[in-house]
Amino acid sequence: MTSEIHKCKIKVIQRTLNKDLIDEYLEDAYKEISFCERFQDDQEFILEGETALSQPPEGFCAWAWADIRKDIITIAVGGNTPGMKQRGTAICGCTDWFRPVLFKIERID
């Protein structure tokens, strides 16, 4: 059984900083970290075709890709996220809980 692979867009919707966690849990040498420097707010990445699902787009953080890839695949093969107002979308994030990045994945074709 083969599924059609839909064109998708990944959009950075929010870069956050959990300063309270940083202050409580990180050693002093790491307390000056700031928002994730790999992404910018509103940055977009387009995924097209089956090969686009096998590796992150150029410039995309490999750790974030590993965290959100299951959601990307769900949307790309036509699935939907339960509870989302807009069908064909998912909100997900990387697991850097000191400075997480939130993404919107959207089916665009």
pLDDT in tens, 86-108: 999 999 999 999 999 999 999 99
- The residue written with tokens 């849990």 in the block is 25
Q: Please tell me the distance from the alpha carbon of residue 105 to that of residue 9, in angstroms, as a whole number.
A: 6
CA 100 – CA 57 distance, rounded (Å): 19
- The H or E element containing residue 9 is strand 8-15
**In this predicted model, which residue has the larger pLDDT, 51 or 75?**
75
Bigger pLDDT: 109 or 85?
85
Q: What is the tens place of the pLDDT at every residue in 55-81?
A: 999 999 999 999 999 999 999 999 999
| 11 beta partners | 44, 104
pLDDT for the residue numbered 1:
38
Going from N- to C-terminal start, the domains of the chain cover 8-107
The answer to pTM > 0.95 is: no
What the block records as the tokens of 37 is 């420097």
